[in-house]
Amino acid sequence: MPVYLDHSATTPLRPEAAAAWMEVASSIGNSSSIHSHGQAARRTLEEARETIAATLGVDGIEALIVSGGTEAINLAIKGLYWTRNADSERPVVVAARGEHHATIDAVEWLVDHEGAEAAWVDLLDDGAVDLTHLDRVLAENAGRIAVMTVIVANNEVGTIQPVREIAVRAVAADVPLHLDAVAAYGHVPLDLRALRSETGATGATGPVAVSVSAHKIGGPQGIGVLALHRGATVEPLQHGGGQQRRLRSGTQDVASAAAFARAALLARAELPSEGRRLRVLRDRLVAGVLASVPDTRVNGAPLDGPDRLPGNAHFAFSGCQGDSILFLLDMAGISVSTGSACQAGVPEPSHVLLAMGRSEDEARSALRVTLGRTTTDADVDAFLTAIPGVIASARKAGLSERDVALR
Ligand code: PLP
């Protein structure tokens, strides 16, 4: 039986979400049409929007349906930048290092094409944002910041950021804060309304935007939401039919929205019990690896603390390459990830581990194992059976490559 341990890449579609999708997709109607078919689609869409919005602590009108996490993040960062820097007085974008590429590349695009200045905030060695450095960056750029963006939970190493402390600083600096909650959604309670009220945010600054994606919680791929506080506004990325308050034109995917809503409700209901279950499985997996594979390091926040995603295990296996391990595990029928990107087929060292102060060798030796709703004890057993042999082979390959390089 193949073993799937890459739930942070995507997690299986929930049967209830698939059923909701099938039911809605079988009826005709564009939610923007005036006639009764259109109005029926509109009702289904708005019900779904309200449901998803409630899981994020916003009103339905504040939940923009988009094509996924990447679009939500681009709309938030670029849209807030354009709105806030319309008079060219606030060109700075503050972002933490080690963010998802949707953020890094959006910020770099703004630098290359729109005259933005990026101010990158360092990470500590557990992957958390360095708040002292953040304070310095905010002070150095006071009055010139368009937008600040931070990931809620790191998709590679699973570290949960001190979101409240970061939000307090955004409020004090009078800067809008976007939160990439794609990896956190379904695992960490999120409530934008509560966060705004706890941090004293008013108007268009402080925490104003949260990005999430359905396929990380058992909804369909290709749909996400940008929760945007009604006091804030973004310049749209795309133009057309003027849907969704003109902020995101385009016919909305009603069937996927209904499926997303179903998954969101289930994920919210299961959050505490699933967290406990995954933590037990994950801790057994990590303990088993550490007991059977020497020279192994666990990356990220402590496993027994509150600042780590419950289903995330992230290793550095010294002396071998993450992509060799991935390949050998795949041959054994086990799917995992290195967590980091490939550029034109060449595996890159993990930019997250580099930002955490690790060497390039360590950043190339990373393996991300992520557990989810369908993970069982048998999956963990299969991984623990395979890993010692896989690492021994990968180390041989890693060392022989180094021998060749030395000659
Ligand atoms: N942000 C984070 C933290 C992610 O983990 C991902 C997906 O892996 C994304 C953004 C992109 O989301 P999507 O795949 O829905 O475009």
- Give me ligand 1 centre to Cα 388, in Å: 31
**Tell me: the pLDDT tens digits for 59-115?**
999 999 999 999 999 999 999 999 999 999 999 999 999 999 999 999 999 999 999
- Give me ligand 1 centre to Cα 6, in Å: 13
* Pocket-testing residue among 77, 151, 182, ligand 1, by greatest number of atoms within 8 A of Cβ: 182
* Pocket-testing residue among 13, 213, 342, ligand 1, by greatest number of atoms within 8 A of Cβ: 213
Q: What pLDDT, on the 0 to 100 scale, is given for residue 405?
A: 42
Atom of ligand 1 nearest to the CA of 214: 15
Which residue is closest in CA terms to ligand 1's atom 12? Answer: 69
Q: Pick from 3, 7, 1: which is nearest to 267 by CA?
A: 7
Q: Catalytic residue positions?
A: 342
Q: What pLDDT, on the 0 to 100 scale, is given for residue 1?
A: 78
- Residue pair 173/142 in contact (Cβ under 8 Å)? The answer is yes
- Give me ligand 1 centre to Cα 401, in Å: 33
- pLDDT(344) > 60: no
pLDDT-based confidence at 348, cuts 50/70/90? confident
Report CA 26 to chain centroid distance, whole Å: 31
**φ and ψ of 397, to 5 deg:** -60, -45
- pLDDT(406) > 90: no
Strand partners, 42: none
- Strand locations in 57-136, DSSP E? 63-66, 92-96, 117-121
Helical H segments across 177-252, by residue range: 192-199
Q: What pLDDT, on the 0 to 100 scale, is given for residue 403?
A: 43
- Residue pair 365/318 in contact (Cβ under 8 Å)? The answer is yes
Taking the C-alpha atoms of residue 210 and residue 180, their distance in angstroms, rounded to an integer, is 6
- Give me ligand 1 centre to Cα 299, in Å: 20
**Residue 8 corresponds to which tokens in the numbers above?**
């942070």
- Give me ligand 1 centre to Cα 181, in Å: 9
- Any idea which architecture 15-264 has in CATH? 3-Layer(aba) Sandwich (3.40)
Residue found under tokens 């995101």: 248
As a whole number, mean pLDDT of residues 125-136 equals 98
With a Cβ cut-off of 6 Å, ligand 1 is lined by: 68-70, 73, 100, 102, 151, 155, 180, 182-183, 213, 224
**φ and ψ of 403, to 5 deg:** -55, -45
Which residue is closest in CA terms to ligand 1's atom 2? Answer: 182
pLDDT-based confidence at 402, cuts 50/70/90? very low
pLDDT mean across residues, the chain? 95
Q: What pLDDT, on the 0 to 100 scale, is given for residue 211?
A: 98
Atom of ligand 1 nearest to the CA of 9: 8
**Tell me: the pLDDT tens digits for 272-315?**
999 999 999 999 999 999 999 999 999 999 999 999 999 999 99
Taking the C-alpha atoms of residue 19 and residue 246, their distance in angstroms, rounded to an integer, is 31
Q: Furthest-apart CA pair in the chain: how many Å?
A: 75
As a whole number, mean pLDDT of residues 343-353 equals 79
- Pairing mode, if any, of strands 346-347 and 206-213? unpaired
Which residue is closest in CA terms to ligand 1's atom 13? Answer: 69
- Give me ligand 1 centre to Cα 304, in Å: 26
Report CA 234 to chain centroid distance, whole Å: 21
> What residues does each domain of the chain span?
3-9+271-397, 15-264
**Residue 253 corresponds to which tokens in the numbers above?**
């995917």
Taking the alpha carbons at both ends of the chain, their separation in whole angstroms is 42
* CATH code for residues 3-9+271-397: 3.90.1150.10
Taking the C-alpha atoms of residue 265 and residue 267, their distance in angstroms, rounded to an integer, is 6
* Pocket-testing residue among 13, 75, 97, 155, ligand 1, by greatest number of atoms within 8 A of Cβ: 155
- pLDDT(339) > 80: no
- Residue pair 215/209 in contact (Cβ under 8 Å)? The answer is no
